[in-house]
């Protein structure tokens, strides 16, 4: 991991700690709308962290599907199947984000919101590729052909073209 990413992760950790400190003050004062405040701030941190972790990623289109893939590590993050409007996400990738932000991975709403906002699609179904102890479809997501034959666009360029950095 390069120095810029380490610095960015430290900034995110500081933002998270500041949020928790502010949350405790609000909690003590028993203010109305605490859950909404907590949710929106956590979602902002979630979006910022995922955006940061996807800086080296590329959007690929192949056979009507949209993939978000890191071509250097060959790790896929999201795949969106246009005909069915199903989105699948990489459990291992997002588990890291959830653990870092002390969130419960069973709450899939931040991922669905990120997909809708960043990829400009609305998924009818948004599921992980695996659930430990339940099912594992991760082997079904073969990205080599997508990388070889798909068209691509750099993640940062996509974000700039769609003005998503103003979240």
List pLDDT tens digits, range 73-91: 888 899 888 888 889 899 9
Say what the pLDDT of residue 93 is: 93
- The pTM score is 0.66
Q: Are 103 and 42 contacting, i.e. CB atoms less than 8 angstroms apart? A: yes
Higher pLDDT, 9 or 53: 53
Q: What are 131-142's pLDDT values in tens digits?
A: 666 666 666 666
Rounded Cα distance between 49 and 47, Å, is: 6
């Amino acid at each position: 991991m390069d120095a810029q990413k380490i610095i960015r992760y430290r900034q995110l950790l500081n933002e998270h700690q500041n949020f928790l400190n502010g949350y405790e003050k609000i909690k003590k004062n028993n203010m109305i709308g605490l859950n909404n405040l907590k949710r929106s701030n956590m979602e902002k941190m979630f979006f910022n962290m995922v955006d940061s972790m996807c800086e080296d990623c590329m959007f690929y289109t192949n056979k009507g599907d949209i993939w978000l893939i890191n071509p250097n590590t060959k790790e896929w993050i999201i795949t969106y199947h246009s005909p069915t409007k199903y989105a699948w996400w990489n459990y291992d990738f997002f588990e890291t984000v959830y653990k870092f932000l002390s969130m419960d991975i069973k709450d899939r709403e931040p991922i669905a919101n990120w997909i809708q906002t960043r990829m400009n699609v609305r998924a009818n179904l948004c599921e992980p590729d695996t659930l430990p102890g339940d099912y594992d479809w991760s082997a079904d997501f073969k990205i080599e052909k997508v990388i070889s034959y798909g068209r691509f666009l750099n993640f940062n360029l996509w974000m700039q073209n769609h003005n998503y950095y103003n979240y």
